Amino acid sequence: MHTLVSIPDALSIVAVWAIVILMAWVLGGYLYAIYTGKKGRLDRFFDPVERFIYRLAGVDPSREMSSKDYFLNLIILNAFQCGLAFVILSFQSYLPLNPQHFPNLSWDLSLNTALSISSNTNLQHYGGGSSLSYLSQMMAIQFLQFTSAATGLSVAVAIFRGFSGRFGGIGNFYYDFVRSLTRVLIPLSFVAAIILVALGIPQTLNGYVLVKTLEGGSQVLKVGPVASLVSIMQLGTNGGGYYGANSAYPYQNPSPLTNWVEIVLMMLIPTAVIFLFGRMVGNRKEGNVILVSSYTLYAIDLVISFITVTTIGPGMEVRFGAFSSVFWTVTTTAFTTGSVNASLAAFNPLVILAAFMGMLIQATPGGIGVGTMYMLMYIVMTVFIVGLMAGRTPEYLGAKITPRDVKLAVIAFLSHPLIILVPTALAYSMGAAGAVGAGKGPVGFIEIFYEFTSAAANNGSDFLGTSANTVFFNVSTGIVMWLGRFIPIAVMISIAGNMSGRVRNIQAGLRTDNLIFAAVLVFSIMILVVLTFFPFLVLGPILSYLEGIPNGL
Amino acid sequence: MDSDAERGILTGKSAPEEKKPKLPVAKILEESIVRMNPAKLISNPVMFVVELTFFLVGIMAIDPTLFPVVSSGSEQVFYVYVAVILGITVWFSTLSDSIAEAQIRATASNLRKIEQEVKAKKLDGDRKVTEVSSKDLRKGDMILIEKGDGIPIDCEVLEGLAMVDESLLTGESALVKKAPSDVLIGGSILMSDSLVALVSVNPEETYLSKLISMVESSKRPKTPNETAISILLLGLTVIFTIIVAAILWLSIELNLGVDLSVLIALYVCLLPTTIGALLPAIGISGINRMSRDRIIAKSGKSIEAAGDTDSLLLDKTGTITFGNRMATEFIPLGGHSAREVGEASFLSSWNDDTPEGRSIIDLAFREGFVPKEFSSIGRAESMEFSAVTRMSSVKLEDADDFHLPKGGRDILQRRRVRRKYLNPDSGVELEISKGAPDAIKGSVPECPEGFDSTVTEISSSGDTAMGVTVGDEIVGIIRLKDKLKPGIREKIESVKVMGIKPLMITGDQPETARNIASEVGIDNFVSRAKPETKFTVVREEQQGGKVVAMIGDGTNDAPALAAADVGLAMATGTMAAKEAANLVDLESNPAKIIDVVMLGKQLLMTRGAVTTFSISNDIAKYFAIVPIMFASLSVLQKINILGLSPHVAVLAALIFNAAIIPALIPLAMKGTRFKPRSTMSIFLRNAVTYGLGGIALPFIGIEAIGLLLRLTFGGSL
């Protein structure tokens, strides 16, 4: 028995981490400057643009919002964008920029897709390259990939303001949202897109290209505005690719180099947000604790996935080899991006177990903005449970944890198993699982369980793919994605709003800015998540592993 | 008493002078059964759910056919076992409640003995005495208390001077002197003379009845942390309900062959039954220990807040030192003699009934410094010590007539005085003052050489200096020695290691203060404090986000007591102070504030420890039950690391789950043991003991119980 990881492989992981952490550290400083309104050289350029947007939208970005206000504005905007995407997808055949003359999407597929993209999930029940017009790709998919990522960043910033208690409130949603777009996501993805184009990813609006192959046959080259979409799908931890096969498709991920670049892109902003947290709460060590904890959990996932030799089955992307594919899969679930560079069905069950862990924890380090939010949810619960043992009322960042905080954090936490387990069982009861070919054994169970876990965690990778384009799965996963996205956001913003005005004590209780706490936190997260999902992991990947079936065969 | 209480809290043992009451076993058993009534149990959701599962498995045991698919007729005996253990689990929880309640009732009945109804002598407007029952006294009534009478109710002395025995309340055997405006607590006994007192409360509002009602109240409000834990437990219950429901559902859909009783066993094992069962007992035991220390908490919140204390304001006098400083030396200055100082001190102290004043008289007598102006002292006009001027003085207007003072010193001394001063000179007017050196210095035009250096020398050696003036001239200094309370240094040390900042407040000179402070290891002190200083200090400390605890007894302390997060008032203090504080100490022992802080911490720790332990336990229970739960998935035997057969695994896990409750009752009652250490090291110790220990122990426990079951039942299980 040999393991998948050779020394160069391990070193390449370390190198990627080092590059990401270094870049994220720099980016974290930049994010801090933008969200705290520090004057900068770029203001001359951005300020007029943003003023124009604010005036156009008729909003006052300086108004301090209550947590309820903040959330209402956020959800209304997201619902509006989701509705827009739904309309575009439903009527794309009547709309311009459809050189391939793709028909309208069915109502349930349009609904699922709109909910999926707007919730930063990008679960794809559609075949991107073979069913969406350029307009749909850009307006319904790419535009929402920007706004959902900006929503995630805004949520993080608002929550950080509240937790820190140093900003007199949680801020203004439009201020955060617009700045996230103009100063973070658009410039970064522009740069990333140029790099990707340079590395060979297509970017064109000229329609598919028909070429004669060497054998004399003909082939359609499905090119389009791919590079710009890939850059934001990875940067914004969206994961919805241009093609159904996602980053396993050569035009989306043509070389090992693009493979590494795309991994770095998906890790970049979630990691930078952790540094932003440390800066915003005024104690970078607090941020470092989250960084260490989330990367430790990420490392645990990697260790699980590399325990044994992988069975490479059909569908495995052989261009990059098993190591790259496993590393990508664990990373894409750890950051809840959901882009894939190899078919999940080809992996050893333990890789799938690791993927599950990423999506069940959601904070390893998790999706853009919300990953750190989930970490704060775990911190509130952990500080409360174990903090009492220090003989003081538990405090985080000097604020006492109140019964209300505990209640809300528990609601956020328990919403996750609820929206995963109920529809999973329902899928079997209603015969929907059988209809998509999922059997009653561990393999079939993994497919269904994974589908809803991925939806609830706003990850977007899945086993079923376009085969889940049924009314049941489109509607159920659609609901799960929105609940999985917005229940925790609502709850955590509420905690933050409540915490922002709370009296800060000198921090004399359990210290949360050292490695001891990081260890306690990792322990506590593992226990909470394992306690909640252990029986289901046993029924899925663990059973599959014990039975020695490479899943998907 | 205070050192005992200290030991009690630190070691979890009850104070020895409080004999452990024999608990009525039959009553406890009966009550624990009554409490199993579901209607009563509903206030404890975790145990209520366990009881529901007990009924469910009970029905399965009676007729398995009622549950097709998820039960089987051949398992009927096993269902009986499961049902019995579930029932016992619920009973253990009600038992722990009943034991805690019984303990607290024992405490209450001890207190009630003190509060017995007595005859009171009520005075009407014409000072005529009518005998009434103490129950019929109202606030504002005037009563007469004579030698040997029990004090019928809390009251305030109007006239007279007497000694009172408060030992029933405080366990302190020394008699306490009571003078006008002092507070008498109902239940104590007058040992000498007689007093006229004004009833200050209605019978149902006395501190003793407040203490009893605090102890007995079933509507004891939950503290914020208790509420938060209850919410967490409810949340966990909901999560595990979702999980178990999903398993059942999937098992039916996927034909996994789960038996309902096994699933219920898993459910009950996962539920936080340990903390759910013990949480009420922990709260009750906290109140019980408070009442044994004779402290009335106006809300449970204040006890918890005490655990959070960052800054502890300690009065030097009474808390750190005994406060009755003794005069040891008269130091003359500016060409005066020791005799002159002694005589002046004598005169200025004659009407000063404080321990300091009496010690000055004693010293002067012993040295033979009895002044000739003694004759006119009976008509002297004296100004009592005031906290504002920090001086007391006496003015002898006509020092020629000699009157033997009434009462007081022994007959021989009086004769000696009479012989010496029978024919004094006439017509001298004399004003003598004594007081704090800086106040004295400010009251005279010039200060003799050596005054400051002597004061500094006295202060730096930890003693107190008191200046004496005759007319407008400083004649000398009295040296007073102060004595530290026993054990106070260790207490302050333990407070410091726990990260609490002790802050000493005193009206003394900075030098004296620094000396005492350094002797007991306090780094921060406020000297030359005026009464209102306390309030300023509390506010200043709170500015930095600190939780401040303090003690107080005077009306001057009331604003500070109200402002402080934890205010402990002395029962002998003024009404205003007691109203403003959130804790009242019936024993009036200021040093007890430290014990209250420790108790607060211990309660928080115990709750956290049992919660963590309860959650950590679940890992092992998963590993015991999940591998054998899905009858159709035999391959899961590979992860059956405990290697128990299905029935044994389920019963062992359930038995462990139930048995851990009574096993932890003593912990819940006495609290987790802890030595004063830094917060982080206390945390680490607890985290390892209850967190990691909580993960490991059930693996061992379940395996051991499994082994026992196999030995006992052999293959029949």
3-state DSSP assignment of residue B587 = coil
pLDDT tens string A140-165 = 999 999 999 999 999 999 999 999 99
> What pLDDT, on the 0 to 100 scale, is given for residue B661?
95
The percent of chain B in helix, strand and coil, each rounded to the nearest 5, is 55, 15, 30
Highest mean pLDDT out of B252-261, B343-352, B654-663: B654-663
Find chain B residues with C-beta within 8 A of A402's C-beta. Answer: 224, 228
> What pLDDT, on the 0 to 100 scale, is given for residue A527?
94
Contact B228 A538 (CB under 8 A): no
Q: Which of A98-107, A123-132, B382-391, B498-507 has the lowest mean pLDDT?
A: B382-391
Find chain B residues with C-beta within 8 A of A508's C-beta. Answer: 310, 499, 679
Pairing of strands B142-146, B119-123: antiparallel
Q: Which of A316-330, A372-386, B582-596, B674-688 has the lowest mean pLDDT?
A: A316-330
- Render the burial of B590-619: b for 16+ CB within 10 Å, e for the rest: bbbbbbbbbbbbbbbbbbbbbbbbbbbbbb
Kindly state whether A40 is in contact with chain B, defined as any CB-CB distance less than 8 angstroms. no
Kindly state whether A214 is in contact with chain B, defined as any CB-CB distance less than 8 angstroms. no
Average pLDDT of span B138-145: 88
Q: CA B322 to CA A220: how far, in whole Å?
A: 98
Confidence of residue B421 (pLDDT cuts 50, 70, 90): very low
- Which CATH code, of 3.40.50.720, 3.10.350.10, 3.40.50.261, 3.40.50.1000, is assigned to B296-321+484-585? 3.40.50.1000
Phi, psi (deg, nearest 5) at residue A458: 55, 40
> What pLDDT, on the 0 to 100 scale, is given for residue B618?
93
Name residue B146's beta-bridge partners. Answer: B194
Contact A508 B225 (CB under 8 A): no
Contact B246 A536 (CB under 8 A): yes
Q: CA A119 to CA A111: how far, in whole Å?
A: 12
Sheet with B430-435: strands ordered across: B326-332, B473-481, B464-470, B430-435, B391-396, B381-383
Half-sphere exposure of B488 (CA within 13 A, CB side): 27
Average pLDDT of span A316-344: 82
Confidence of residue B221 (pLDDT cuts 50, 70, 90): low
Q: Where in chain B is the domain with CATH 3.40.50.1000?
A: 296-321+484-585
Q: What is the overall mean pLDDT for chain A?
A: 90
**A551: pLDDT strictly greater than 50:** no
Cα A437 to Cα A431, B250, B304, B445: the distances in Å are 10, 17, 58, 106
Contact A527 B615 (CB under 8 A): yes
Which of B156, B169, B166, B167 has the alpha carbon at shortest distance from B114? B169
> What pLDDT, on the 0 to 100 scale, is given for residue B377?
64
Confidence of residue A533 (pLDDT cuts 50, 70, 90): very high
Are B185 and B151 in contact, with CB atoms under 8 Å apart?
yes
> What pLDDT, on the 0 to 100 scale, is given for residue B397?
59
Q: Where in chain B is the domain with CATH 3.40.1110.10?
A: 327-479
Contact A505 B310 (CB under 8 A): yes
Name the strand (E) or helix (H) holding B157: strand B155-159
Residue of chain A whose alpha carbon sits nearest to that of B271:
A531
- What is the amino acid identity at position B574? T
Helices (H), A242-283: 256-280
pLDDT-above-90 percentage for chain B: 27
Q: CA B625 to CA B647: how far, in whole Å?
A: 10
Q: Measured between CB atoms, which of A508, A510, A538 is closest to B626?
A: A538
Name the strand (E) or helix (H) holding A78: helix A67-90
Q: CA B150 to CA B144: how far, in whole Å?
A: 11
Q: In a 10 Å sphere around its CB, with 0-12 CB exposed, 13-18 middle and 19+ buried, how is residue B126 labelled?
A: exposed
Mutation to test the B interface, candidates A382, A385, A392, most B Cβ within 10 Å: A392
3-state DSSP assignment of residue A547 = coil
Task: List all residues 6 or more positions away from A471 whose beta carbon is below 8 Å from its beta carbon.
Answer: A108
Contact A391 B601 (CB under 8 A): yes
- What is the amino acid identity at position A129? G
DSSP string for residues in A120-183: T-----S-HHHH--HHIIIIIIIHHHHHHHHHHHHHHHHHHHHHHT-SSS---HHHHHHHIIII
- What is the amino acid identity at position B178? K
Average pLDDT of span A486-495: 97
**B404: pLDDT strictly greater than 50:** no
Contact A421 B243 (CB under 8 A): yes
Higher pLDDT, A390 or B300: A390
Catalytically active residues of B are 315
Which tokens sit at B482? Answer: 């102060």
> What pLDDT, on the 0 to 100 scale, is given for residue B379?
62
Which of B214, B304, B320, B225 has the alpha carbon at shortest distance from B584? B214
**B5: pLDDT strictly greater than 60:** no
Higher pLDDT, B303 or A14: A14
E-strand spans in B424-565? 430-435, 464-470, 473-481, 501-505, 524-526, 548-552
Say if domain B119-202 classifies as CATH 2.70.150.10: yes
> What pLDDT, on the 0 to 100 scale, is given for residue A148?
95
Average pLDDT of span A416-424: 96
Higher pLDDT, A548 or A179: A179
Phi, psi (deg, nearest 5) at residue A210: -100, 125
Q: CA B627 to CA B633: how far, in whole Å?
A: 8
pLDDT tens string A350-400 = 889 999 999 999 999 999 999 999 999 999 999 999 999 998 889 999 999
Task: List all residues 6 or more positions away from B218 whose beta carbon is below 8 Å from its beta carbon.
Answer: none
Are B586 and B571 in contact, with CB atoms under 8 Å apart?
yes
Half-sphere exposure of A246 (CA within 13 A, CB side): 33
Are B667 and B590 in contact, with CB atoms under 8 Å apart?
no
Average pLDDT of span B92-102: 91
pLDDT tens string A21-49 = 999 999 999 999 999 999 988 899 999 99
Contact B246 A422 (CB under 8 A): yes
| DSSP class of B468 | E
Which of A512, A514, A389, A385 has the alpha carbon at shortest distance from B682? A389
Task: List all residues 6 or more positions away from A455 whose beta carbon is below 8 Å from its beta carbon.
Answer: A116, A121, A123, A477, A480, A481, A484
pLDDT tens string B579-596 = 888 888 888 788 888 888
**B572: pLDDT strictly greater than 80:** no
Find chain B residues with C-beta within 8 A of A448's C-beta. Answer: none
Contact B626 A534 (CB under 8 A): yes
Mutation to test the B interface, candidates A383, A389, A448, A533, most B Cβ within 10 Å: A389
Q: In a 10 Å sphere around its CB, with 0-12 CB exposed, 13-18 middle and 19+ buried, how is residue A519 labelled?
A: middle
Q: In a 10 Å sphere around its CB, with 0-12 CB exposed, 13-18 middle and 19+ buried, how is residue A155 labelled?
A: buried
**B14: pLDDT strictly greater than 60:** no
Q: CA B236 to CA A407: how far, in whole Å?
A: 11
> What pLDDT, on the 0 to 100 scale, is given for residue B1?
36
Which tokens sit at A51? Answer: 């003023």
**B426: pLDDT strictly greater than 50:** no
Q: CA B423 to CA B372: how far, in whole Å?
A: 9
Helices (H), B115-223: 167-170, 207-216
Are A374 and A362 in contact, with CB atoms under 8 Å apart?
yes
Q: In a 10 Å sphere around its CB, with 0-12 CB exposed, 13-18 middle and 19+ buried, how is residue B523 labelled?
A: exposed
pLDDT tens string B456-498 = 888 777 677 888 888 778 888 888 887 777 788 888 888 888 8
Find chain B residues with C-beta within 8 A of A546's C-beta. Answer: 635-636, 638-639
Q: CA A222 to CA A250: how far, in whole Å?
A: 10
Q: Measured between CB atoms, which of A402, A407, A421 is closest to B224?
A: A402
| DSSP class of B630 | B
Kindly state whether A503 is in contact with chain B, defined as any CB-CB distance less than 8 angstroms. yes
Q: Is the preceding omega at residue B510 within 30 degrees of 0, hence cis?
A: no
Average pLDDT of span B628-644: 88
> What pLDDT, on the 0 to 100 scale, is given for residue A326?
86
Q: What fold does the segment set B327-479 form as a domain?
A: Calcium-transporting ATPase, cytoplasmic domain N (3.40.1110)
E-strand spans in A385-520? 395-396, 399-400
Region class of A315: left (phi > 0), else alpha (psi between -120 and 50), else beta: left
Higher pLDDT, A86 or B103: A86
Placement of tokens 């050292």 in the chain: A514
> What pLDDT, on the 0 to 100 scale, is given for residue A418?
96
E-strand spans in B355-402? 381-383, 391-396
Confidence of residue B170 (pLDDT cuts 50, 70, 90): low
pLDDT-above-90 percentage for chain A: 66
Task: List all residues 6 or more positions away from A300 whose beta carbon is below 8 Å from its beta carbon.
Answer: A357, A522, A526
Q: Which of residues 380-419 of A touch B (CB under 8 A)?
A: 381, 384-394, 398, 401-403, 405-407, 410-411, 413-414, 417-418
Average pLDDT of span B197-204: 85
Higher pLDDT, B662 or B460: B662
Q: Where in chain B is the domain with CATH 2.70.150.10?
A: 119-202
- What is the amino acid identity at position A413? F
Mutation to test the A interface, candidates B618, B683, B690, most A Cβ within 10 Å: B683
Q: Which of A56-65, B2-11, B129-138, B260-269 has the lowest mean pLDDT?
A: B2-11
Q: CA B480 to CA B610: how far, in whole Å?
A: 52
> What pLDDT, on the 0 to 100 scale, is given for residue B403?
44
CA A145 to chain CA centroid, Å, is 11
Higher pLDDT, A346 or A270: A270
Cα A268 to Cα A30, A264, A271, A356, B30: the distances in Å are 13, 6, 5, 21, 65
Q: In a 10 Å sphere around its CB, with 0-12 CB exposed, 13-18 middle and 19+ buried, how is residue B116 labelled?
A: exposed
| DSSP class of B404 | P
Find chain A residues with C-beta within 8 A of B224's C-beta. Answer: 393, 402-403
Task: List all residues 6 or more positions away from A461 whose beta carbon is below 8 Å from its beta carbon.
Answer: A239, A329, A332, A333, A338, A339, A340, A344, A355, A454
